[in-house]
Amino acid sequence: MNIEVWRQYELSFTAEHTYANPYTDVQVWADFTHEPTGTVLRRPAFWDGGSTWRIRFASPLSEGRWSWRTDSSGDDPGLTGRTGELTLVPAESADRFLSHGFWRMSPGGRSLVHADGAPALLVADTAWGLPWRATEDDVRGYAADRAEKGFNAVLMMSVQPDMHARGPRDRTADEGFDIGFEDLKDGHLDQLNPAYFQYLDKLVAILGERGIVPVLQPVFQGFGWKGRSVAGTVVPPEEYARYCRYLVARYGARPVIYLVGADGSGEEPQIAAGGREIEEWDAYGQPCGIHYRPHARNGAHQDAAWLDFQWCQTGHRGEHAPERVADMWRNEPVKGVANGEPTYENSGATGKGAGWWQGHEAWSNLCAGGTMGVVYGAGSLWQWRLHAEEPDHDPYFLAPGCGWREALDFEGSRYVGLVGRILDGLPTTDMRPEWELAIAPRGLTDGAGTLYISYGEHGGPLRLVPATAGAVPRSYRVIDPRTGETVSEGVRGADDLAIPDEGGAPRVYICYDG
């Protein structure tokens, strides 16, 4: 078989033995060996119903060939000792991930980069309920909207997590949802439904066509969908870990982020068990981390080898709290940082966290040290409320009078989406907060004197500190972050200590070599 670099390919195998529960009874994997480098990558297989197992693989190398051999925990001749070869052929693609490779953490651990080192910034939306509520047509419309606005990732609960949620198994019916595990309602993850994940494959592929990376959360530890007894704190850790391995097998040969813990303290035993399993089986080193509840210290497992990032949550009352990000940035050893859940726009009340509130929140968190990226969410969208009158949702989190489609058009999403576009192409890797270069409340520097970024809520001249002005590049652009438009640009004179702006509106100041 001929393959191209970074593109997912699939191998299928048919078991010759019969198993009472194929998902739990057999482990299958393949070792891929590259010639001529000798690089070995191990990819787990996943059960896909009946007697079928599949292995998905993407080559991180652009030349040579891969030979592969399967192995398993049993002696099934259909699954063990199978062999083959994959030959790499030249490829050209405008797709960022096929050109530059999957995301991983930067050398300094502060930000995302592609496999080839190209800088990247997470610009994520929150659609927790999409995997088990949305249809293919829904996701096509959703992905087109979010890609057009500049989003490149989406936070999703991989399965409906509430043990006591009830409704028809119908994505188009009020209160309906699809089911990934038949026994999740009993606090277990043993009875996997392959058809659910086959449908999720289609949704993930649609997102991928628009350059939107799934941020996959296994089973929530916090509120969940409707706050009805989440399974993420109840399922045995070994079952949680096995499911994490399944997610790596099924989705790990394409761009993905693993959100192994969500909305909890971070100390739940399921999280560490899942994180270790992801580290063992993820051949591509894609990011894995924790997203916390609002009332957490946000530092669990800080020194764990499997942990790449920590994401805080600042609650849903419409308050800016970038100090939560700044506190995490100071923790050691270094991990990536972001505010993974600011106030959802219009959550609980029209106008809460609305409009430019979201843009200010994003830039403030970024400059406080959240250099992994920015995250946005909207009331009624994260639940994937089917329409404005669908009942049985907690009103505190709903946008009044809105379903998910109406929530797509909330004003604030445009401002968050613009963050990535404004910074695209800049050397943002491992930028850090900087307080000594300008008389400004918020700033970032690359530490090499080639890039300085500042955000001013009200604009006006950016005044440099005389003693350190030489460390600020002299070329500059002043940008309106509400539109992405450059309002002025120039080259500062050697003795100039200010970047001019008339003030009265939000501004982003970018000083750069070039």
Question: Tell me, what's the pLDDT at 514?
Answer: 73
pLDDT of 471 reads 93
Residue 452 tokens, joined: 């300085």
Confidence of residue 462 (pLDDT cuts 50, 70, 90): very high
Question: Do 260 and 278 touch, CB atoms closer than 8 A?
Answer: yes
Q: Is residue 441 over pLDDT 90?
A: no
Confidence of residue 252 (pLDDT cuts 50, 70, 90): very high
Res 171: pLDDT = 97
At 427, is the secondary structure helix, strand, or coil?
coil
Residue 113 to residue 329: CA distance in whole angstroms: 18
pLDDT tens for each residue of 205-223: 999 999 999 999 999 999 9
Closest to 360 (Cα-Cα) out of 438, 417, 415 = 415
**CA–CA gap between residue 404 and residue 208 (Å, rounded):** 20
Position 492 scores a pLDDT of: 95
pLDDT of residue 507: 98
Each residue's pLDDT tens digit, 499-510: 999 999 999 999
Percent of the chain with pLDDT over 70: 100
Per-residue pLDDT at 99 exceeds 90: yes
What is the reported pLDDT for 92?
86
Helix (H, G, I), strand (E, B) or coil at 26: coil
What pLDDT digit, counting tens, does each position of 149-186 carry? Answer: 999 999 999 999 999 999 999 999 999 999 999 999 99
Compute how many other C-beta atoms are within 10 angstroms of the C-beta atom of residue 43.
24
With 80 as the cut, is the pLDDT of residue 144 above it?
yes
Residue with tokens 């925990």: 73
What 3 state SS string does 186-213 have?
A: HCCCCCECHHHHHHHHHHHHHHHHCCCE
CB 209 within 8 A of CB 242: no
- What does the pLDDT average to over 314-325? 96
How much is the average pLDDT of 307-326?
97
- CA dist 328 and 188 (Å) reads 33
Radius of gyration of the chain (CA): 23
Alpha helices in 282-429 (DSSP H): 323-329, 356-367, 404-407, 412-423
pLDDT exceeds 80 at position 372: yes
pLDDT at 56: 99
pLDDT tens, position by position, 112-143:
999 999 999 999 999 999 999 999 999 999 99
Task: Dump pLDDT digits (tens) for 404-418.
Answer: 999 999 999 999 999
The answer to whether residue 266 scores a pLDDT higher than 80 is: yes
* Summary mean pLDDT of the chain: 97
Q: What is the mean pLDDT of residues 399-407?
A: 98
Average pLDDT over residues 434-445: 94
pLDDT grade, residue 49 (50/70/90)? Answer: very high
Structure tokens that stand for 486 in this block: 């450059």
